[in-house]
Chain A
Amino acid sequence: MRDFPLFPEQASTFAGPVDALYWTLVGLSLIFGGVLPFIILYLMVRYHRSQKADRTNQVHSSLPLELTWTVIPLVLVLAVFFWGAFLYIEIRNPPDRSLEIYVIGKQWMWHVQHPNGKRENNELHVPIGQPVRLVMTSQDVIHSFYIPAFRVKQDVLPGRYTTMWFEATEPGEYHLFCAEYCGTEHSLMVGRVVAMRMADYERWLTTPGEIILPDGSTGGAVASPLVGAIGDPMVLAGSQLFATGLGCASCHRNDGLGIGPNLEGIYGTEVRLDNGELVFADENYLRESILNPAAKVATGYANVMPTYDGQVSEDQMNQLLAYLKSLGAADAE
């Protein structure tokens, strides 16, 4: 009970704007919530039955009055609505050059993997001054990734990806909470977010830490070489899965001669399906194409790809995605 704050720290680019809107609302509320009670109190005292006051000429209805107190609140709420709406759109639109970090929620821990393969549990290290985009999914029930100091929160759903972005501004350690009720140890599904300078972050990325296995458990005290401890770089792991582990490459050849389409550069493009529709190839589309290929068949190809449902873990799925995306990035350069 050392210190007890009354207002949360501001540690991301959103914190300022959100708090500004918040204080504006508090101010507006004081007009109604603070002044109205005093008007009521005044009227109560003034017109108490023991008070001599003028009670003649009572009015029972007045259209101008009604309109006034309909229109003024309406204008006010619409004003704050638009303010909030633009902020909201910003919160939901990650900038192009953001660092992508993969998050898996499961009862009751957070499992994080950085692009270079470094994994961590219940902790998230991020650089400051750099937009970070989290690609999140859950292995079981709905969780919610919440960093109060950054004013960001997003539910994490099983069976699909949700994303969230932020840019930390202040180095420091902040709370990380699971905000969606997810069962017995919901309140223990907490951790910390460490925001650090870019250089520190890069150093941290390459430092071996505790060994964290893909299933999220921490490994035994095995002295292991650097790479093993950090984990496989995601793209590399993904490419291994693609080439040999799962045998994708037997059909998806990059010369375009395979049974399946060439997947180079597919991420972030629009794919035409055999029923003529266009779909945007984002994480969720790629995921579905792997787990349930029959649902959306690329035009010009037969629906022969087997389902990998049950064969790839969420962790491997993330690695495959990282690999597929890297194909796109390579293409773009």
Chain B
Amino acid sequence: MTHKEHEHAHAHIGPATYYKIFAALMVLMFLTVGAWWVETVVEIPRALGVFIALVIASTKTVLIVLFFMHIKVSSRVVQLYAIAALFGLLFLFVITMGDYIARGWPPQLGPLP
């Protein structure tokens, strides 16, 4: 199968797309800095601020990965591996933070000691 699968030249991402993506990235970047600027003036919950920043960063990542890094037109296996890292991080973050939130470090220990 591996021999057949890639005979066809993969679909093409050209300079025009690159420029568009780049423009989108710049817009997102100014959005995130802008949001930060606004937050210095307007009080919003801290978690929301973090959330906004992370959503924008993730969007940028998705754009870069899909277009600059050609994942959109890559083979299925490569696409899977691009996602694999996400799962690895998910395991690490969710479980570890789970412990911290339940443990309450520092300092209070939560209902169970």
Determine direct contact between A and B, CB below 8 Å.
yes
Q: In the complex, are the beta carbons of A282 and B108 less than 8 A apart?
A: yes
Which residues of A have CB within 8 Å of B106? Answer: 160, 284, 288, 295
Q: In the complex, are the beta carbons of B105 and A160 less than 8 A apart?
A: yes
Interchain nearest-CB distance for A297 vs B (Å): 13
Q: In the complex, are the beta carbons of B107 and A92 less than 8 A apart?
A: no
Q: Would you call A45 an interface residue if the criterion is a C-beta within 8 Å of the partner chain's C-beta atoms?
A: no
Q: Would you call A246 an interface residue if the criterion is a C-beta within 8 Å of the partner chain's C-beta atoms?
A: no
Interchain nearest-CB distance for B13 vs A (Å): 45
Per-position 1/0 for A153-167, Cβ under 8 A of B? 000000010010000
Per-position 1/0 for B12-50, Cβ under 8 A of A? 000000000000000000000000000000000000000
Q: How many residues of chain A are within 8 Å of chain B by beta carbon?
A: 16
State the CA gap A89–B106 with chains docked (Å): 22
Q: Would you call B88 an interface residue if the criterion is a C-beta within 8 Å of the partner chain's C-beta atoms?
A: no
Q: Would you call A305 an interface residue if the criterion is a C-beta within 8 Å of the partner chain's C-beta atoms?
A: no
Q: In the complex, are the beta carbons of B109 and A280 less than 8 A apart?
A: yes
State the CA gap A295–B105 with chains docked (Å): 12
Name B112's closest neighbour in chain A (CB-CB).
A92
Q: In the complex, are the beta carbons of B107 and A285 less than 8 A apart?
A: yes
Which residues of B have CB within 8 Å of A160? Answer: 105-107
Q: In the complex, are the beta carbons of B108 and A92 less than 8 A apart?
A: no
Chain A binding surface, main DSSP class:
mixed
Interchain nearest-CB distance for A243 vs B (Å): 25
State the CA gap A301–B106 with chains docked (Å): 21
Q: Would you call A279 an interface residue if the criterion is a C-beta within 8 Å of the partner chain's C-beta atoms?
A: yes
Q: In the complex, are the beta carbons of A288 and B113 less than 8 A apart?
A: no
Q: Name the interface residues of A281-306: CB closer than 8 Å to any CB of B.
A: 281-282, 284-285, 287-288, 295-296
Q: Would you call A93 an interface residue if the criterion is a C-beta within 8 Å of the partner chain's C-beta atoms?
A: yes
Which residues of A have CB within 8 Å of B113? Answer: 92-94, 163, 282
Q: In the complex, are the beta carbons of B112 and A280 less than 8 A apart?
A: no
Q: In the complex, are the beta carbons of A280 and B108 less than 8 A apart?
A: yes
Interchain nearest-CB distance for A328 vs B (Å): 16
Contact of B109 among A94, A284, A296 (CB under 8 A): A284
Interchain nearest-CB distance for B46 vs A (Å): 9
State the CA gap A282–B104 with chains docked (Å): 12
Interchain nearest-CB distance for A103 vs B (Å): 15
Name A284's closest neighbour in chain B (CB-CB).
B107
State the CA gap A163–B108 with chains docked (Å): 13
Name A135's closest neighbour in chain B (CB-CB).
B113
State the CA gap A281–B107 with chains docked (Å): 9
Interchain nearest-CB distance for A312 vs B (Å): 16
Which residues of B have CB within 8 Å of A93? Answer: 112-113
Name B46's closest neighbour in chain A (CB-CB).
A275
Seen from chain A, the residues whose Cβ lies within 8 Å of a Cβ on chain B are 89, 92-94, 160, 163, 279-282, 284-285, 287-288, 295-296
Given A163-B113, A284-B107, 12 other A-B contacts at CB below 8 A? A93-B113, A94-B113, A280-B104, A280-B108, A280-B109, A280-B110, A284-B106, A284-B108, A285-B108, A287-B107, A288-B106, A295-B106
Counting from the closest, the 10 A-B pairs by CB-CB distance are A288-B107, A284-B107, A280-B108, A279-B108, A285-B107, A285-B108, A163-B113, A288-B106, A282-B108, A282-B109
